[in-house]
C-alpha cells in the first residue's frame, strides 16, 4: 500500500532501493506495535527454565500484568523498532535488487522458473538483512527477559540491563564484539528459510490472485 502511494505521488520510482527500504521498514514498525506483546510472551516462554514460572499463556499474561504492570508487554520495544525498521527495509530492498541480479545472470531459459527466483532471492535477502541487524535483535531479546531473572537461574549467570545502551555496553565489556553475534548461525538458517518461503508464497498467491481475477474478467 505504501509503495503504491509513493508511486501514485510520483515522488520516486517505485522500484528504487530507498522506496522499498522505507516502505518495508514502516510497514514492519506498524506490525510490530500491534503484535509486540505476543513476541514478549514468546520470549518469556522460551527463556524460562525449570521449574516453569508460567504454565499456560493465560497464566503468563495474568502474572506478568499483576507483578510488572501493563508496560511489561512492551519491554524491549525501542530496540525492536530500531532493529525491525532496517531489517524489514533491507529485506524488501535486497529482495528486489537480488531479483534484478538474478534476471541479469540467468540464461533466458532459466528465467521461466519464477518460483525458484523468488525463493532464492528471498532467502538471500533474509540472510543479508539478519546479518546487518543481528546485534539489535540480540539486545531486544535480552531486554525482553529483564525482570525474569529468577526463572533463568538454572542457566547459570543471569545479567540485568537498564536499557538499550547499558545492554550494548555490558555485552561489549563482558563478551567483546563476538558477543553481539551470539546465536547468529541458527538465526541465519531461520532467516533464509522463513524469508525465502514468505516471499515465495507471497508471489505465488499474488500471481494466483491475478490469474483468477483475469479469468473472471
- For residue range 91-101, what is the model confidence (pLDDT) as tens digits? 999 999 999 89
CB-CB contact of 188 with 130 (8 Å): yes
CB-CB contact of 196 with 122 (8 Å): yes
What 8-state DSSP symbol labels residue 46? H
* CA angle (183 as vertex; 181, 184 as ends), nearest 5: 60
CB-side exposure of 165: number of CA atoms within 13 Å?
0
Torsion of CA 92, 180, 190, 55, to 10 degrees: -120
Per-residue pLDDT tens digits for 54-93: 888 898 899 889 988 999 899 878 878 988 999 999 999 9
Q: According to the model, what pLDDT value does residue 110 have? A: 59
Q: Give me the residue label for grid cell 505504501.
A: 2
Is residue 15's pLDDT more than 70?
Answer: no
Q: Please give the backbone phi and psi of residue 45, each rounded to the nearest 5 degrees, phi first.
A: -65, -40
Amino acid at each position: 500500500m505504501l509503495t503504491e502511494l509513493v508511486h501514485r505521488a510520483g515522488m520516486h520510482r517505485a522500484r528504487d532501493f530507498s522506496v522499498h527500504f522505507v516502505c518495508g521498514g514502516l510497514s514492519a514498525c506498524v506490525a510490530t506495535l500491534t503484535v509486540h506483546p505476543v513476541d514478549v510472551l514468546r520470549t518469556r516462554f522460551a527463556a524460562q527454565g525449570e521449574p516453569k514460572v508460567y504454565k499456560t499463556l493465560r497464566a503468563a499474561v495474568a502474572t506478568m500484568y499483576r507483578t510488572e504492570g501493563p508496560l511489561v508487554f512492551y519491554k524491549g520495544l525501542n530496540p525492536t523498532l530500531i532493529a525491525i525498521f532496517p531489517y524489514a527495509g533491507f529485506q524488501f530492498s535486497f529482495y528486489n535488487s537480488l531479483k534484478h541480479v538474478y534476471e541479469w545472470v540467468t540464461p533466458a531459459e532459466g528465467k521461466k522458473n519464477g518460483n525458484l527466483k523468488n525463493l532464492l532471492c528471498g532467502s538471500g535477502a533474509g540472510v543479508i538483512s539478519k546479518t546487518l541487524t543481528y546485534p539489535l535483535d540480540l539486545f531486544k531479546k535480552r531486554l525482553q527477559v529483564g525482570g525474569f531473572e529468577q526463572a533463568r537461574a538454572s542457566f547459570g549467570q543471569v545479567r540485568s540491563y537498564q536499557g538499550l545502551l547499558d545492554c550494548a555496553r555490558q555485552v561489549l565489556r563482558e563478551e567483546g564484539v563476538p558477543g553481539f553475534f551470539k546465536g547468529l548461525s541458527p538465526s541465519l538458517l531461520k532467516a533464509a528459510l522463513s524469508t525465502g518461503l514468505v516471499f515465495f508464497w507471497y508471489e505465488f498467491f499474488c500471481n494466483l490472485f491475478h490469474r483468477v481475477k483475469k479469468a473472471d474478467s
